[in-house]
Amino acid sequence: MSAAPRVVAVVVSFNRRGLLARTLAGIAAGVLRPDAVVVVDNASTDGAPDMVRGLALPFPVDLVELGTNVGGAGGFTVGIERAVLDHAADLVWVMDDDTEPQPEALAAAVRAWTDYAPAPEQRPTVVASHVLWSDGREHPMNSMRERLGATAAQRRRAAAVGARPIRSASYVSCLLSGDAVRELGLPIADYFLWADDFEHTTRLARFNDAIQVPGSVVVHHTKKFGTTDVDPGPRFYNEVRNRVWTYGRSQCLAPWEKLAYTYATARIWVRTFTQSSDRRLLAGCLARGLRDGLRAPRPNAEVLEGVYPLRPVPSLPDGPRAGEPAREGRADGRSAVPEFSLLMPVYDGDTPERFVRALASNTREQELAPAEAVIVRDGPVGPALQAALDGAAAAAGTVPVRVVALEQNVGLTAALGLGLEACTHGVVARADADDISLPHRFAAQLPVIAAGADLVGTAMDEIGDDEAAVLAHRRVPTSPASIRSVARARNPFNHPTVVFRRAAVDAVGGYQHVPGAEDWWLWARLIAAGADVRNLAEPLVRYRVSGGAYERRGGRAAFAGDLVVAAQLRAAGFLTGTQWLRNVAVRAVYRFLPTPVRAGRYRRMVSRR
């Protein structure tokens, strides 16, 4: 992604032609304008689509006319899908048709998102605006509370950009990270209206930061000043059903949050009944909502069948991938092998001699060499390692070397994300700065990629200081079926061995921060999206096991990381409840074994698979 993110606005409208015109005028009058605007018309009968077509706007408009009113939830599902799949949005700016952005609204939100952290993976997945009513008062319908349980670090990061941490946001002007949508999916169209934005934004922000930016101001032109709990009428049915779905079916909230929100919602419903002029109507809505909330919401494609040909998000690209040639056959009947980039992160803890040796083994010593080597220097390094980086071209032979020098240490996940941006080829090979690749590694893996695979890893050997002395073998599952099965219990790929199609990785949101398991989380999303994943049984990488490696794999900190990983995989639906419980139990035993026993158990486990 470039320094200036690509912003695509999504506006959903139904029979509010005049307000929609005001919304589009507000977007056009902004100090910063979006790169494109998707307008989803929900079967309006007031001539709104013709009005949109007749406007002269300073940005392209993608007008989607639906033949059936599928509600705000269905409309935003369609609009966000188009934004991330057709318009390659880095940020999706969502709003209703009665929202009027003020001139600084988008500029302030984008500035806060960009300044929040040096790498996109560390930035908020949701950035909400400050919402006012028509008379300038803060709109109670769109007021957001500070995130319950926000850490000191989250408060500090938010304050640094003039914002505050939040847990949820309304679709009355908020930015959604495009990568987070590709990672975690679309809204749930079956909600029709109410709570769809709460479920979606809390899903995007459960394991990530979300902020509200007071300097990003919009006006919400509702007919009345107040909240939706004041005499909601028949719509109370949607409120009840959708809250039951959110608290009972969705993984957008942690268990303790579900209890807290259930209690808060019950209090609001009591107030709603107390203030209502038609309690009999509300009682009927409550009964039907509770009953219908017991069934699961329908899949988005089913809800929109016959209305809009919805594509899955995340979804893998079809046909030749961006940045690589089409897969024509060669004269001998084999697929052409694409050029590829080598991606290697380096940080201050790496050894200069081992880095030089690793780079040489992955470039000039390879039978099939990469077309370029992209080295990410993750923050400042010592003089010796910097000298090795300055002389990297000599170690790489004829392979061009590019060093991406980061001013501060951002961590492995962010470094890999920034490195991927710098890669110029559609296929990327990973390598670590202290491991050794055998000379035929890429010659063995690239033909598998050329034949159609999206991800190819290999087995590897563990070594110490002596690269010729193998300490253990790390075997891997090789068939797609066994890879998918093993992925539910542990990481099925050795990260330093993989080669992948960048388009496939980008399509599911790229690397995202999961402490100690950013690779497993990425592979899980690729598998869930239907990627062609393979492993070669031959160990083609020699993995350096440094001193203290097995000590670091034990203890409370390591187990706490396991809980985060398991929760994220469970929240994404990759693990069932039983699988989650099994994984947590197994990891608890493993993490608290004595170090010698843990080392032996680990080596036996990876060697027999």
Q: 266-298 pLDDT, tens per residue? A: 999 998 998 888 889 999 999 999 999 999 999
Which positions ≥6 away from 250 have C-beta within 8 Å? 188, 199, 203
The β-bridge partners of 112 are none
Question: Picking from 11-25, 187-201, 336-350, 575-589, which range would have the lowest pLDDT averaged per residue?
Answer: 575-589
pLDDT of 1 = 44
Looking at residue 416, its pLDDT comes to 95
Calpha distance 277→110 (Å, rounded): 43
Q: Tell me what the mean pLDDT of segment 570-591 comes to.
A: 87
Q: Of 258 and 336, which is predicted with more confidence?
A: 258
Stretch 423-446: mean pLDDT = 96
Highest averaged pLDDT of the listed ranges 210-219, 232-241, 582-591: 210-219
Instruction: Give the pLDDT mean for 90-94.
Output: 98
Nearest to 60 by CA among 8, 106, 25: 8
Overall average pLDDT of the 357-384 stretch? 97
Q: What is the arithmetic mean of pLDDT over 369-386? A: 97
pLDDT exceeds 80 at position 319: no
pLDDT at residue 3 is higher than 80: no
> Residues near 596 by Cβ (< 8 Å), separated by ≥ 6?
none
pLDDT of residue 151: 92
**pLDDT of 322 strictly over 50:** no
On the question of pLDDT at 335 being above 60, the answer is no
Return all residues near 398 (Cβ < 8 A) that are at least 6 apart.
364, 369
Residue with tokens 């032979």: 397
pLDDT of 607 over the 80 cut: no
Q: How far apart are CA 602 and CA 554, in angstroms?
A: 11
Dihedral through CA 471, CA 600, CA 605, CA 561, nearest 10? -110
> DSSP 3-state assignment of 497?
helix
What average pLDDT does the segment 585-609 reach?
66
Flag whether pLDDT at 609 surpasses 50.
no
The pLDDT assigned to 565 comes to 84
Q: pLDDT digits over 118-155, tens only?
A: 888 899 999 999 999 988 888 877 888 889 889 999 99
- What was the pLDDT predicted at 385? 97
pLDDT for the residue numbered 608 = 44
Nearest in space to 456 (alpha carbons), one of 505, 498, 494: 498
Q: What pLDDT is recorded for position 572?
A: 84
Find the mean pLDDT for residues 419-427: 95
Residue 494 pLDDT > 90, yes or no?
yes
H-assigned helices in 66-207: 71-85, 105-116, 152-160, 178-184, 196-205
pLDDT for the residue numbered 296:
95
Asked if residues 430 and 499 have their Cβ atoms less than 8 Å apart, the reply is yes
Averaged confidence pLDDT in the chain: 90
Predicted local distance difference test score (pLDDT) of residue 329: 41
Residue 578 has pLDDT above 70, yes or no: yes
- Give residue 224's pLDDT: 79
What is the percentage of the chain residues whose pLDDT exceeds 70?
Answer: 92
* Of 164, 3, 190, 179, the residue nearest 92 (C-alpha): 179
Name beta bridge partners: 7.
Answer: 91
Q: How many CB atoms lie within 10 A of CB 228?
A: 17
Looking up tokens 């959110």 gives 246
pLDDT recorded at residue 555:
74
- pLDDT value for 229: 63
pTM summary value? 0.88
In angstroms, rounded to a whole number, what is the distance separating the alpha carbons of residues 129 and 218?
A: 7
Distances from the Cα of 271 to the Cα of 206, 232, 237, 266, 277, angstroms:
28, 12, 16, 9, 12
Q: What is the mean pLDDT of residues 236-243?
A: 95
- Give yes or no for a contact between 482 and 529, defined as CB atoms under 8 angstroms apart: no
| pLDDT above 60 (res 223) | yes
Q: What per-residue confidence (pLDDT) applies to 275?
A: 85
Q: How confident is the model at residue 225 (pLDDT cuts 50, 70, 90)?
A: confident
